[in-house]
Amino acid sequence: MGFSQENKIKLMESNNCYMIGMLAEDENYYPPTGDDQEVITTLKNSNNLIFYIRPLSVDPQPVTELIDPNLSNPLYIGIDNDQDNVVKPMTYKFTQDINEKKRVLYDKLKGKLILFKPKITFSKEDKVYKNLIIINIETDIKTDKNMEFIPIPVVELKTFDFQQKLLDARSIVLEDYNHAMYPPEYIICNNYLYFNFPEWTKHSSNSKAWICEKYADKINRIKINTNSNEIRGGDNIIFIDKQLLYKMESEGKKEKITDPLVEENNTKVKSDINLDSDDSKKINEREFEFIQGFKEVTLSNNLCYSMEDLINLHICVKTNPLTILAGMSGTGKSELANFYAKMLKTSEEDGTQLFLPISPSYTEPGDLLGFLNNTTGLYVSSETRLVDFLIHAQNKAELMHIVIFDEMNLSQVEHWFAPFISLLEKKPEERRLYIYSPEAHCINRKTYPDYIIIKDNIKFIGTVNIDETTKDFSDRLLDRANMISLKKEKLAKLQNEMNELSLKSQSNKDLQCDSFNEYQSWISNKNWIKAYSPEEIEFLDELHDLLNKFDVQKGVSFRITKKIGEYLLNIPVDVNGNKLLSKEVAFDIQIKQRLITKIKGTEKQYGKLIGIIKESNDNELINSELYNFFNSEKALKISIFTLTKNEIVKKAKELGVYGYAN
């Protein structure tokens, strides 16, 4: 059977689930994958051994619904070479005798409880295989094929915190229990077993977060003692035999989780035990309110952008001095930048906002900054008023300042913006913008000093159109900026959201950012390297190698890696502490904005990297190493990369039609 890309992705999510099983002895039938009908046999056309595992816990939901809804083939297949050292004692490694290997493998697995993760794979013909990776082999637990184990997530929260989240219908992160699994029947927290849950819903962006619907006060809990009849799956999941579980549930002393909440000592717990400090919580709430206010302001002014685009813009501005907004003409890019600036309480009247249309005649920094007249000894500021604005920002460090470069690529940006490009990477105190030589004679030096310090309280936002009247950006500039391609939303969505806004009661709360200090409090000071797992770093290295193979000037530089890391560390959270963008989505956004935008060139140079879509066949992407890379199993573990792959397809169409990708 064939699988759509969407269903393939769902099935791949099953690979992150934990299961329990045993060696599937004495089955009436084994899948025709091996050379004979034995529980351990050789893989067809191979010297590898395969073995069959009967699951003793429920399959992930996508496996049940998409592969085997009738449970006609419950077995999973293990391949010995996939199992590292889990099933390979020394005698197994050094023998070439197949029968001896079978004996060693059989002795290792027989009668044992086996903890594993599915490994769903697809053949070129779209045939699906239910393979597995063994995580651990439990030797002390006797099993039979009639046993059934229940997966139980373990929550590492204080009891009060956990119960309050249940009562408030707030999301709870279950680290080793993702959305591919069925909703949990039981949860363990601090030696309490919780059960009798009402309906669960899945968090919209965090694949490990679940929300227990209201009426959570119906939930029961009992005190339990863990024993040898359980097995820990990952760090945060336990499997318990179903019969034992029912016995514990029926014999245990049941308690309701009601308000006031009861702890082990039957005393009311103070509400100040939250993991986050009160100050940190207030900071997060203020930033969340700011973003909500930003959305309302855009809607009330007839602009409809997705919340994802607005959050992306906010993070980009937070983490980078220069942000560029791209998109089709007439969608309100300049207005969007203006409304974001207003949310920071900047205005042209106060001298904290500067709207600067770029002229095609601008060819050097002096066109924007002005010049020192050597004849008169006077510094003459440009009509753009940029120098006066920068001096104001330097002197009013407590206020945010925004410069909006409107249609900034009507002229070559690298020419008139040249002094800023390198400066903005330096520390704030080192960003000295010299407007004339310190040794020069300047009569009005007090008004116009020879240099201006560009502090963090000033941000630059540019808007661009991409057409025949505009100039391309250099890699040097793109390395130092986030380039956001704004999506035009459906008119029907704009109408619906505006109707909803008109019905919503308006809060008197001030949702704007009060000051530069408050804005700075929203920026994480963690080291950017902490944003990455080892797998993500390895992924970026491999992506660099692929890009570098086609162009030695392209790749994942240290600067880009740092900037992506800072972006990932600065994703805002809602009032419950849930990230407004999942890491997977944020990674996709950054790869597209930081790397894919830089791939521009001819079919001869990038045809094999990007692939080509001929005008006659819009649906067929031919020979795209880059698309295949982002569609690989390793990539899909990090993100689905929807935006990135769509951008690759767009560039492939450009190559097919014009012979050039922009």
Instruction: Tell me the pLDDT band of 329, cut-offs 50, 70 and 90.
Output: confident
Mean pLDDT value across residues 213-217: 67
Q: What percent of the chain has pLDDT over 90?
A: 51
Is 518 contained in some domain?
no
> Which pLDDT belongs to residue 496?
73
Is 508 contained in some domain?
no
598 vs 488 pLDDT, higher one: 598
> Which pLDDT belongs to residue 94?
65
> In terms of domains, do 92 and 185 share one?
no
d(CA 527, CA 590): 18
What are 248's two structure tokens?
A: 């514990």
> In terms of domains, do 459 and 325 share one?
yes
The answer to which of 28-32, 326-330, 511-515 has the lowest mean pLDDT is 326-330
Owning domain of residue 568: 524-661
Q: Which of 487, 509, 538 is the last residue of a domain?
A: 487
The answer to which of 279-288, 390-399, 409-418 has the lowest mean pLDDT is 279-288
Name the strand (E) or helix (H) holding 392. Answer: helix 386-395
Is 512 contained in some domain?
no
Is 543 contained in some domain?
yes
> Which pLDDT belongs to residue 305?
86
6-47 per-position pLDDT tens digit: 888 889 999 999 999 999 998 888 988 899 999 999 998 888
For residue 616, pLDDT over 70 is answered with: no
> In terms of domains, do 459 and 575 share one?
no
Mean pLDDT value across residues 302-320: 91
Is 576 contained in some domain?
yes
Instruction: Tell me the pLDDT band of 270, cut-offs 50, 70 and 90.
Output: very low
Q: Residue 217 in 3-state DSSP?
A: helix
The number of domains in the chain is: 4
Query: For residue 487, which of 619, 355, 642 has the smallest C-alpha distance?
Result: 642
Instruction: Tell me the pLDDT band of 615, cut-offs 50, 70 and 90.
Output: low
429-433, long-range: CB < 8 A, 24+ apart: 429/453, 431/455, 433/390
309, 586 in Cβ contact below 8 A? no
For residue 476, pLDDT over 90 is answered with: no
> Which pLDDT belongs to residue 627?
93
Query: For residue 661, which of 480, 375, 649, 192 has the smallest C-alpha distance?
Result: 649
For residue 230, pLDDT over 80 is answered with: no
Is 131 contained in some domain?
yes
Instruction: Tell me the pLDDT band of 273, cut-offs 50, 70 and 90.
Output: very low
> In terms of domains, do 342 and 237 share one?
no
Q: What's the predicted TM-score (pTM) here?
A: 0.60
Q: Which of 433, 461, 487 is the last residue of a domain?
A: 487
For residue 227, pLDDT over 80 is answered with: no
> In terms of domains, do 79 and 164 share one?
no
What are 81's two structure tokens?
A: 């070479």
> In terms of domains, do 655 and 529 share one?
yes
> Which pLDDT belongs to residue 161?
82
Give residues with Cβ within 8 angstroms of 125, minimum separation 6: none
Instruction: Tell me the pLDDT band of 120, cut-offs 50, 70 and 90.
Output: very high
Name the strand (E) or helix (H) holding 626. Answer: helix 625-630
Instruction: Tell me the pLDDT band of 538, cut-offs 50, 70 and 90.
Output: very high
Show the 3-state SS of 313-370. HHHHHHHCCEEEEECCCCCCHHHHHHHHHHHCCCCCCCCCEEEEECCCCCCCCHHHHE
Is 295 contained in some domain?
no
460, 317 in Cβ contact below 8 A? no
Q: What percent of the chain has pLDDT over 70?
A: 89
For residue 567, pLDDT over 50 is answered with: yes
Amino acid at 627: Y
338 vs 300 pLDDT, higher one: 338
55-82 per-position pLDDT tens digit: 999 999 999 988 866 556 789 999 998 8
Amino acid at 196: N
> In terms of domains, do 60 and 181 share one?
no
> In terms of domains, do 528 and 593 share one?
yes
CATH number of the domain that residue 476 is part of: 3.40.50.300
467-474, long-range: CB < 8 A, 24+ apart: 469/410, 470/407, 470/409, 470/410, 471/409, 471/410, 471/411, 471/412, 471/413, 472/409, 472/600, 472/662, 473/324, 473/409, 473/413, 473/414, 474/414
> In terms of domains, do 143 and 13 share one?
yes
Is 294 contained in some domain?
no
Mean pLDDT value across residues 410-428: 88
155, 188 in Cβ contact below 8 A? yes
Q: Which of 256, 278, 299 is the last residue of a domain?
A: 256
First CA to last CA distance, the chain: 38
Name the strand (E) or helix (H) holding 114. Answer: strand 113-122
Angle at 26 between CA 25 and CA 28, to 5 degrees: 125
Mean pLDDT value across residues 360-373: 94
> Which pLDDT belongs to residue 588?
94
> In terms of domains, do 328 and 476 share one?
yes
> Which pLDDT belongs to residue 467?
67
> Which pLDDT belongs to residue 231?
67
> In terms of domains, do 142 and 162 share one?
no
Mean pLDDT value across residues 596-601: 90
Average pLDDT, the chain: 86
> Which pLDDT belongs to residue 55?
95
Query: For residue 40, which of 78, 82, 92, 4 has the smallest C-alpha distance?
Result: 78
> In terms of domains, do 42 and 157 share one?
no
